[in-house]
Structure 1
Amino acid sequence: MTRYLYSLLLLLLSPFIAFYLYQIRGKRNIGYRSHFGERFGVVQRNAAKNSIVIHCASVGEVLAASPLIKRVLHAHPNERILITCNTPTGRAEIQKQFGDAVDLCYLPIDFAFAAKKFIRTVKPKLLIVLETELWPNLFYYAKKNHCAITVVNARLSEKSYLGYKRFASLSRQMMQHIDVLASHNEEDGRRFIDLGLDASRMQSTGSIKFDIHIDDGDKLKLDALKAQIGNRPVWIAGSTHPNEHEQVIAAHQSILNQHPNTLLIIAPRHPEQFEPVADLLAQSKIKYSRRSNTYDKGCQVLLADTLGELKFLYGSATIAFIGGSLIERGGHNPLEAAASAVGVLSGPSTYNFSHIYPELVAMEGAIICHNKEQLGEQIISYLSDIQAAKVLGNNAHTCLAKNQGAINRTLNVIDSLVEQ
């Protein structure tokens, strides 16, 4: 009965959801208007039948899951792989990473009719979802059509847990549909069990986000960027958001008073923020270049208005700030900086990475700054003491290396389900 009420509520909200995606999000990013039928379960009838479906919500999950997906492709060359996502940037990254090696489409909104149509058309043999992409109707119709379900790299913050707990009956039904849940750690796993997951179906595999490395192609791009920048201090602000861009720019202005030759690389989280950030820089009378254009050696800020480059951009900096944390957004992945042995600065909002930050801070690879003033002060300190910055970066890399191996453990879970 609970799922029926959930489905009815979604159906009543469907005009508003469609309007929001097509008109509001579509105005900011025209990609939301493309392939719109897929949002309602309309996919090509010959698309990836009897495939392994892997769902990555957005570009961050695609980047994190790409090494795992490549291992799945290698381990199961005769299986068709369909990767689904929710955002145009995620879709573009899937195409960039895998080309024609996989099929792709948007995961339908969790309307009962859309989930049912999607599952009946695709007929997947295995559904793999990343992190906390838990959808009652998708799971229900997958199990009804004899499809195994696994949640990998599963995480559940205390805040999310309390949210699911409010809808205990619906959460319990979802948990009962999961064949195997591969969680970040025992603590996350216990939260899923408390929501109704059978304890025998939980495995603690660690986070695949630790299994990150800088490949040869990225190293070549990084070398070219370093040659462009030359010998000057650099700090980077990755995955910044509105109301945070301004704080980062203000911090940089204070840094320029102490270190006037410093370059800030600012990488907004979403493409629709590229122009607003450019406007903010112009209003602040800061000389800037755009990564997508010709680099000016005299610029004070490099606006990273490209997609899929952030991982190697971190390697050009002495110190990194990870965005989504000076506002109440929960933060973003600090391990991309750690992979290049670059130390991490973060704001106080890190709940999306509560499985990473405590250990990273404890191992002295990251520092929490509570406002833009503290951020500016820390960067000035590390730019004045490069050796201290190197120690912070090396500690971050040590934390990363210590926790690697989750991809192998997760692949074992997937293999066992494919071979059933």
Structure 2
Amino acid sequence: MRYLYTLAMYLATPLLVLRLLTRGVRYGNYHRRWPERFGVFDVPAAIHGGLWVHAVSVGEVNAAEPLIKALKRDYPNAPLVVTTVTPTGSARVQQLFGGEVFHVYLPYDLPFAVKRFLRRLRPRLALIVETEIWPNLYFACRRRGIPLMIVNARLSERSLRGYRPLRAVLRSALRQVRVAAQSRTDAARYRLLGADPGLITVSGNLKFDMPVPYDAVREGEALRQRWGRLRPVWIAASTHEGEELAALEAHLKVLKRLPDALLLIAARHPERFRAVEHAVRSLGFSLATRSGDGVPGAVHQVFVIDSMGELMPFYAAADVAFVGGSLTPIGGHNVLEPAALSRPVLVGPHTFNFEEITLTLLREGGGERLDDSAELGPRVLDLLGDRERRERMGRQARRVFDSERGAVRRVMQLVDGLLQE
């Protein structure tokens, strides 16, 4: 099975190169770093023997932020390496940590690329964030005696089904890999995938331990002062294709009752910023954008947040938050950010990526689920018109966030144990 898997990876290499070319057009400097995807990069000797954290993209980097900060605090003399897969993930690493960590792209799971990558870095420990199971990489770490742990591990039912054809090779790859799962459900799915039950721990979700930045609260307050403290404002965040149109149609309903209402909209992927702006203009809304206008004025009805890493201040400035990826079968995105800022949360029917967290939030009264996009406008209107209910839901959302903290401490105990071994 492993031979067939590796053969498939080699056969897919031309498609991987084509993908690099496409991304090189979309992200200007990305083409200069293509060799990294095949394990070719310059590395300072001081990086050898460091602690390596892999986070696929922006969401995983954000989840790993409190863990990386804890590693820096507890192991101040250990070099830190952070790998990502996407250019947006790379940009987020740079934004959060600058030169404090060494960033390089994770190589494709080709034996020669993985071997070259590990030979250059020589890490003492590998921490893989959430769900990234690359058999050749895992086998290579085991051969070199590099302890490997999947932290903040989550595995949806759909992902488990998708891994089924590779179950045999994954069971072998996961041997001796420690798993720090987000929830009991995730732990059970990793057992079904073939992980050693004795090496699986339920540590909770790292995202609950993310700091609530004072700057975000302060910036949110400044934004409210700018466009009017009493103005009704809601945000549609981390949206995907189809959800922006649903949000805009909902906003048309909101404006009929609340003509001074403002919608903040942030697409999940930067390559869709222009498409969202075009959709807003085509529907006749008065528009402002983050890149063009900075902040919206009193005359604007929709504000497109066409920037990365700035959601928290806008969550802080909104009265109600809709979290995208949930009206379409993407699986939903992070509900903890608005919850941390005491904002009531709305989600669609598809939240399997954050299943237990979302269910807890709904059960405790910090959020509400929509059956479909048609419900978005009426639910937003109800909440914007009922301040007492909004504040009650916001308090419950924050209570859920606070009650689940502690995952970083539990993961760091496991890290300490691995390094001592």
SS class of match (1:358): helix
Report Cα offsets for 1:262-310 as digits up to 9, x if no partner: 0000011111111111111111110111123333321001111121111
Task: Say if 2:53 and 2:81, in contact at 8 Å, map to a contact too.
Answer: yes
Gaps of at least 5 residues in structure 2 are none
Task: Say if 1:265 and 1:302, in contact at 8 Å, map to a contact too.
Answer: yes
Task: Say if 2:220 and 2:315, in contact at 8 Å, map to a contact too.
Answer: no
1:120 is the counterpart of 2:119: yes
SS class of match (2:325): coil
Aligned counterpart for 1:26 among listed residues 20, 24, 39: 24
Task: Say if 1:324 and 1:332, in contact at 8 Å, map to a contact too.
Answer: yes
Matching residue of 1:216: 214
- Cα separation, 2, equivalents of 1:31 and 1:205: 38
Task: Say if 2:65 and 2:210, in contact at 8 Å, map to a contact too.
Answer: no
- Cα separation, 2, equivalents of 1:31 and 1:216: 33
- Cα separation, 2, equivalents of 1:196 and 1:61: 23
Matching residue of 1:235: 234
- Within 5 Å, give how 1:296-307 maps onto structure 2: 296-307=297-308
CA displacement at 1:168 relative to structure 2: 1.7
Q: 1:241 to 1:26 in 2, by over 3 A?
A: farther
SS class of match (2:237): strand
Matching residue of 1:318: 319
CA displacement at 1:140 relative to structure 2: 0.9
Matching residue of 2:146: 147
SS class of match (2:350): coil
CA displacement at 1:252 relative to structure 2: 0.8
- Cα separation, 1, equivalents of 2:353 and 2:175: 25
Matching residue of 1:6: 5
CA displacement at 1:360 relative to structure 2: 1.0
Task: Say if 1:322 and 1:346, in contact at 8 Å, map to a contact too.
Answer: yes
- Within 5 Å, give how 1:95-134 maps onto structure 2: 95-134=94-133
- Cα separation, 1, equivalents of 2:168 and 2:209: 35
Residue type at the aligned position of 2:310: E
CA displacement at 1:6 relative to structure 2: 0.6
- Cα separation, 1, equivalents of 2:192 and 2:372: 36
CA displacement at 1:31 relative to structure 2: 4.8
Aligned counterpart for 2:34 among listed residues 26, 33, 36: 36
- Cα separation, 2, equivalents of 1:10 and 1:397: 44
Matching residue of 1:174: 173
- Answer with 285-294 or 52-61: which moved more: 285-294
Q: 1:119 to 1:177 in 2, by over 3 A?
A: farther
Matching residue of 2:350: 349
Task: Say if 1:22 and 1:32, in contact at 8 Å, map to a contact too.
Answer: no
CA displacement at 1:314 relative to structure 2: 0.7
SS class of match (2:175): helix
Residue type at the aligned position of 2:193: L
What RMSD, in angstroms, separates the aligned Cα atoms of the two structures? 1.4
Report Cα offsets for 1:39-59 as digits up to 9, x if no partner: 111121436222111001101
Residue type at the aligned position of 1:316: A
- Within 5 Å, give how 1:145-294 maps onto structure 2: 145-178=144-177, 180-231=178-229, 232-294=231-293
- Cα separation, 2, equivalents of 1:218 and 1:276: 27
Residue type at the aligned position of 2:125: L
- Cα separation, 2, equivalents of 1:351 and 1:194: 18
Matching residue of 2:79: 80
Given the two structures, how large is their TM-score scaled by the length of structure 1?
A: 0.96
Matching residue of 1:358: 359
Report Cα offsets for 1:22-78 as digits up to 9, x if no partner: 22x333333542411111111214362221110011011111211110011010011
CA displacement at 1:155 relative to structure 2: 0.8
SS class of match (2:218): helix
SS class of match (2:316): helix
Matching residue of 2:398: 397
CA displacement at 1:177 relative to structure 2: 4.0
CA displacement at 1:3 relative to structure 2: 1.4
CA displacement at 1:224 relative to structure 2: 2.2
Given the two structures, how large is their TM-score scaled by the length of structure 2?
A: 0.96
1:334 is the counterpart of 2:335: yes
Deviant stretches of 4+, over 4 Å = none
Residue type at the aligned position of 2:162: G
SS class of match (1:238): strand
- Cα separation, 2, equivalents of 1:341 and 1:93: 24
- Cα separation, 2, equivalents of 1:191 and 1:332: 20
Residue type at the aligned position of 1:200: G
Task: Say if 1:330 and 1:352, in contact at 8 Å, map to a contact too.
Answer: yes
